[in-house]
Amino acid sequence: MFVRDQTSEILKVFALLCTVLVFIYARPYLLDRKQYAGEFYTLMIFATIGVMLLVSAGNLVMIYLGLELLTLSSYALVALNRDSSLSSEAAIKYFVLGALSSGMLLYGMSMVYGATGTLDLAQLHAAVPQSAMPHLLVFGLIFMLVGIAFKLGAAPFHMWIPDVYQGASTPVTTFIASTSKLAAFGMAWRLLETGLGDLSQHWQPMLAAVAVLSMAIGNLVAIVQTNLKRMLAYSTISHMGYLLVGLVNAGPEGYASAMFYAISYALMSTVAFGVILALARAGFECEEIADLKGLNQRSPWFAALMALAMFSLAGVPPLFGFYAKYLVLQAAIDAHMLWLALTGAVFAIIGLYYYLHVVKVMYFDKPVEGGADQSTPDTSLRVVLSINALALLVLGVYWGPLLGWCRRSFGLG
Partner 1 sequence: MMLEHVLVLSAYLFSIGIYGLITSRNMVRALMCLELILNSVNINFVTFSDIFDNRQLRGDIFSIFVIAIAAAEAAIGPAIISSIYRNRKSTRINQSNLLNK
Min dist. Cβ of residue 90 to partner 1 (A) = 6
Q: Which is nearer to partner 1, 29 or 234 (CB)?
A: 234
- Residue 83 touches partner 1, criterion: CB under 8 A: yes
The count of residues in the chain is 413
Can you tell me which of 20, 37, 96, 349 binds partner 1, judged by CB under 8 A?
Answer: 96
Distance CA 200, CA 69 (A): 28
CB 257 within 8 A of CB 8: no
Grouping H, G, I as helix, E, B as strand and the rest as coil, residue 89 is: helix
- Residue 330 touches partner 1, criterion: CB under 8 A: no
- Residue 93 touches partner 1, criterion: CB under 8 A: yes
> What is the footprint of partner 1 within residues 266-325 (CB under 8 A)?
none
- Residue 35 touches partner 1, criterion: CB under 8 A: no
How many residues form the binding site for partner 1 (CB under 8 A)? 42
- Residue 90 touches partner 1, criterion: CB under 8 A: yes
Min dist. Cβ of residue 210 to partner 1 (A) = 20
- Residue 166 touches partner 1, criterion: CB under 8 A: yes
Q: Phi-psi bin for 376: left (phi > 0), alpha (psi -120 to 50), beta?
A: beta
> Which burial class, exposed, middle or buried, applies to 344 when counting CB atoms under 10 A from its CB (0-12, 13-18, 19+)?
buried
Site string for partner 1, 108-147 (x = CB under 8 A): -xxx-xx--xxx----------------------------
Can you tell me which of 88, 194, 200, 330 binds partner 1, judged by CB under 8 A?
Answer: 88
Backbone angles phi, psi at 120, to 5 degrees: -75, 135
Distance CA 331, CA 207 (A): 14
Q: Which is nearer to partner 1, 104 or 292 (CB)?
A: 104
Min dist. Cβ of residue 80 to partner 1 (A) = 9
Q: Which is nearer to partner 1, 238 or 312 (CB)?
A: 238
Question: What value, to the nearest 5°, has the Cα angle with vertex 207 and ends 202 and 212?
Answer: 140
Q: Is the peptide bond before 318 cis (omega within 30 degrees of 0)?
A: yes
Grouping H, G, I as helix, E, B as strand and the rest as coil, residue 365 is: coil
Distance CA 43, CA 46 (A): 5
Stretch of 199-207, 224-232, 308-316, 382-390 contacting partner 1, by CB under 8 A: 224-232
Can you tell me which of 17, 21, 26, 72 binds partner 1, judged by CB under 8 A?
Answer: 72
Stretch of 19-27, 47-55, 61-69, 169-177 contacting partner 1, by CB under 8 A: 61-69
- DSSP class per residue in 155-211: TTS-THHHHHHHHS-HHHHHHHHHHHHHHHHHHHHIIIIIITGGGHHHHHHHHHHHH
Of 5, 135, 115, nearest in space to 60 by CA: 115
Q: Which is nearer to partner 1, 37 or 61 (CB)?
A: 61
State CA 103 to chain mean position distance.
22
Min dist. Cβ of residue 403 to partner 1 (A) = 37
- Residue 197 touches partner 1, criterion: CB under 8 A: no
Min dist. Cβ of residue 234 to partner 1 (A) = 10
CB 237 within 8 A of CB 154: yes
Which positions lie near partner 1, rule CB under 8 A?
Answer: 60-61, 64-65, 68, 72, 75-76, 79, 82-86, 88-93, 95-96, 99-100, 103, 106-107, 109-111, 113-114, 117-119, 162-163, 166-167, 224-225, 230
